[in-house]
Amino acid sequence: MTTREDATREAAALGEQLRRHAHLYYVLDAPELPDAEYDKLFQRLQALEAEHPELRTSDSPTQRVGGKVLEGFAKVRHKVPMLSIRTETDITPGGASAFDARVRKELGLAEDGPQVEYVCELKFDGLAVNLRYEQGVLVQAATRGDGEIGEDVTQSIRTVQQIPLRLHGHAPPVVEVRGEVYMRRDDFEALNERQREKIAAGQKNEKVFVNPRNAAAGAVRQLDPAIAASRPLSFFAYGLGEVSSPEQGGPDCATQFDWLQQFHAWGFPIGTQTQRARGAIELIAFHETIARQRDALPYDIDGVVYKVDSLELQRRLGFVSREPRWAVAHKYPAQEQLTEVLGIEVQVGRTGKLTPVAKLAPIFVGGVTVTNATLHNEDEARRKDVRVGDTVIVRRAGDVIPEVVGVLPESAARPAQQRGPVFTMPRKCPVCGSDALREEGEVDYRCTGGLFCGAQRKEAILHFAARRALDIEGLGDRLVEQLVDANLIRTLPDLYKLGFTTLAGLDRMADKSAKNLVDALEASKKTTLPRFLFGLGIRHIGESTAKDLAKHFGKLDAIMDATEEQLLEVNDVGPVVAKSLRTFFDQPHNREVVEQLRACGLNWEEGEPATRAPKPLAGKTFVITGTLPTLSRDEAKDKLETAGAKVAGSVSKKTDYLVAGAEAGSKLDKALELGVAVIDEARMLEILENGL
């Protein structure tokens, strides 16, 4: 047995050796030691710590993998809020000029004045984390969360090899380093290949990941740190949280660039493309350079970030709406790639919309491995003449929805007999067999199966259970999918036939969760007519229209039996909405669902039709933004709509008033730009009480 004194010296020396070689390998990409030799050192340290457990410290290289499985994430209140930065909406190089102009204006610099110095960084597409070090040792890691409170993910973060467990060199008493956990593209592809092999081998609960960001974020936010340890995660440092002052032993950095160099000295990787720039011209040059390099980068980015370099100027510029004036994220246009169409299928949405979808040979575009792309509708598919076997241009429109932009000319020029048939939308729903109809003036075909159609079932139930509908807490996506797939729910009334025993027997459903859901279902039976109408998911019937219908008719039966002419008498109900209502309630199976729901005990107060007295705010449009002192947005919206006002979601020239609370954002900027009257909650209540 090794003596304690000898073991202590050897363990300390091994720890330093392993930390040095790990830094060379993972951060500097300049290994000096073969993997086998590194493994021998690692195993020797493990043996020493097993023999002398008191030598096993929290920053030991052996403590990166494993750890106990947590029961839940602890909440962490950030000492310094993790605020997001503004996104520049102009994705052309002009966005850089606009940011420079805003900074110069805020600083009061003349046109011929000195250029502002910036730091230009990449906008990494991963999960932002805050790393807290005390006396140089990592003690806590937390996600951004809502900016004020995040989740403690220390155990998972300790498995990321590029994050030092102990800072190199001199460390202040306290410092918080912020950055992005991400996954390299090659590591992501290798991970997915392993996942496909597991699926092919019949392993359950395995899946292929959508993109590197989701795979990285999902690994960090796991209660079992071994999952994070099994995935190849990387890290870049770029920001600062709490830090000891220079008088307390902290670094004396005057610029953002100085801090990045300090991070690197402490052992963190920083973006190699990071550079300083002077003025708008050099910002534009950086934006264009990275745009050319973007596809060749080993990791995903969704833009670049510009920050005023001087910390003193950052303090002068300050913040607006919880966003720093001294920084901006400048994104790029959606990317395009070529791939082959393997097939064309028709998907059915929640409201019955039939959408043709091109099944593609997998292609990496816009940060995602794409295998499906929308063709929107029959007219669009025919206009682009997309056929099976064609080589097509695929784009992630708005970095969200993959779409087929067009057919490669060489592919479209092939003889007709060498191409697939022209796409034609089926006239029957491919799921339930109901008629698929196209309304006059519409481009989309829709299934008339309503609540009867199986393809619409899951989304119909989720919509019915949503907060602004029946508000059934606990009935989320995964549970609905499980209930429908197990054939426990076929129509909405089946929800109210679920019992505690059935729910408690489901996978990952604890007794307490089952009881809570049973209680929530029972509580949802007492509702309101507008909520019930909205919850049915009738096409074109939103919350506002449901309220108007309830006020106008007073009773559900009156709405169900109303003619199109009678429906047109309702405020804001036009021919399209009236026809949609009649089509819905003319389907016997939809009426049957309503009657069954009533039989299950759903009830609401009904009354006589509302009087048609003029309302004080009729014809006025309001928009609400920010956090109001005493009312929630929904409460304020209800009060305004009761008084006859229309409450819109965005500011336009037609907006009469913007009700602004704390932390009002871009809507306030837009209102000021358009000259819209801005009022607070107190003034809104005064208007509601006394009129305009």
Task: Name the pairing type of β-strands 327-331 and 86-88.
Answer: parallel
Q: Which of 314, 331, 348 is the last residue of a domain?
A: 331
Q: How many domains does the chain have?
A: 5
Task: Name the pairing type of β-strands 234-243 and 174-182.
Answer: antiparallel
The C-alpha atoms of residue 163 and residue 216 are separated, in whole angstroms, by 14
Whether the Cβ atoms of residue 129 and residue 157 lie closer than 8 Å to each other = yes
Angstrom CA distances, 673 to 103, 666, 677, 678, stand at 18, 10, 11, 11
Do the domain assignments include residue 273? Answer: yes
CATH classification of the domain holding 664: 3.40.50.10190
pLDDT digits (tens, 9 = 90+) for 541-562: 989 899 999 999 999 999 999 9
Give percent of the chain above pLDDT 70: 94
Do the domain assignments include residue 431? Answer: no
Q: Which of 551, 586, 612 is the last residue of a domain?
A: 612
pLDDT digits (tens, 9 = 90+) for 616-635: 887 789 999 998 999 988 88
Give the residue numbers spanning the domain of 367: 336-418
The C-alpha atoms of residue 211 and residue 382 are separated, in whole angstroms, by 31
Query: For 114-132, what is the mean pLDDT?
Result: 94
Whether the Cβ atoms of residue 423 and residue 318 lie closer than 8 Å to each other = no
Higher pLDDT, 452 or 9: 9
Q: Name 176's Cβ contacts closer than 8 Å, sequence gap at least 6.
A: 79, 80, 130, 131, 132, 133, 240, 241, 242, 243
Best CA proximity match to 490, nearest among 452, 462, 520, 525: 452
Do the domain assignments include residue 605? Answer: yes
Helix (H) or strand (E) holding 532: helix 529-535
pLDDT digits (tens, 9 = 90+) for 415-439: 888 898 999 999 999 988 888 888 7
Q: What is the DSSP string of 282-341?
A: HHHHHHHHHHHHGGGSSS-EEEEEEEESBHHHHHHH-EETTEETTEEEEE-PPPEEEEEE
Higher pLDDT, 594 or 452: 594
* 209: pLDDT strictly greater than 80: no
Do the domain assignments include residue 426? Answer: no
Please indicate, yes or no, whether residues 237 and 106 belong to a single structural domain of this protein. yes
Please indicate, yes or no, whether residues 255 and 157 belong to a single structural domain of this protein. yes
Best CA proximity match to 164, nearest among 26, 66, 268: 268
The alpha-carbon radius of gyration of the chain (Å, integer) is 30
Whether the Cβ atoms of residue 571 and residue 587 lie closer than 8 Å to each other = no
Q: Which of 27, 48, 63 is the last residue of a domain?
A: 63
Best CA proximity match to 330, nearest among 354, 371, 301: 301
Whether the Cβ atoms of residue 229 and residue 64 lie closer than 8 Å to each other = yes
Residues tagged active-site: 123
CATH classification of the domain holding 551: 1.10.150.20
Query: For 106-117, what is the mean pLDDT?
Result: 92
Do the domain assignments include residue 75? Answer: no
**pLDDT at residue 397 in the model:** 55
Do the domain assignments include residue 441? Answer: no
Minimum mean pLDDT among 62-76, 164-178, 239-253, 304-318: which range?
62-76
Please indicate, yes or no, whether residues 585 and 641 belong to a single structural domain of this protein. no
Please indicate, yes or no, whether residues 568 and 642 belong to a single structural domain of this protein. no
Give percent of the chain above pLDDT 90: 44
CATH classification of the domain holding 324: 3.30.470.30
Query: For 258-284, what is the mean pLDDT?
Result: 96
Please indicate, yes or no, whether residues 512 and 371 belong to a single structural domain of this protein. no
Do the domain assignments include residue 76? Answer: no
Query: Across all residues in the chain, what is the average pLDDT?
Result: 87
Please indicate, yes or no, whether residues 362 and 474 belong to a single structural domain of this protein. no
Please indicate, yes or no, whether residues 289 and 342 belong to a single structural domain of this protein. no
Do the domain assignments include residue 428? Answer: no
CATH classification of the domain holding 346: 2.40.50.140
Please indicate, yes or no, whether residues 157 and 240 belong to a single structural domain of this protein. yes
Please indicate, yes or no, whether residues 212 and 312 belong to a single structural domain of this protein. yes
Read off φ and ψ for residue 8, nearest 5 degrees.
-60, -45
* 199: pLDDT strictly greater than 80: no
Please indicate, yes or no, whether residues 629 and 567 belong to a single structural domain of this protein. no
Please indicate, yes or no, whether residues 579 and 487 belong to a single structural domain of this protein. yes
Please indicate, yes or no, whether residues 42 and 107 belong to a single structural domain of this protein. no
pLDDT digits (tens, 9 = 90+) for 624-677: 999 899 998 888 988 887 787 888 888 998 899 999 998 888 899 899 999 999
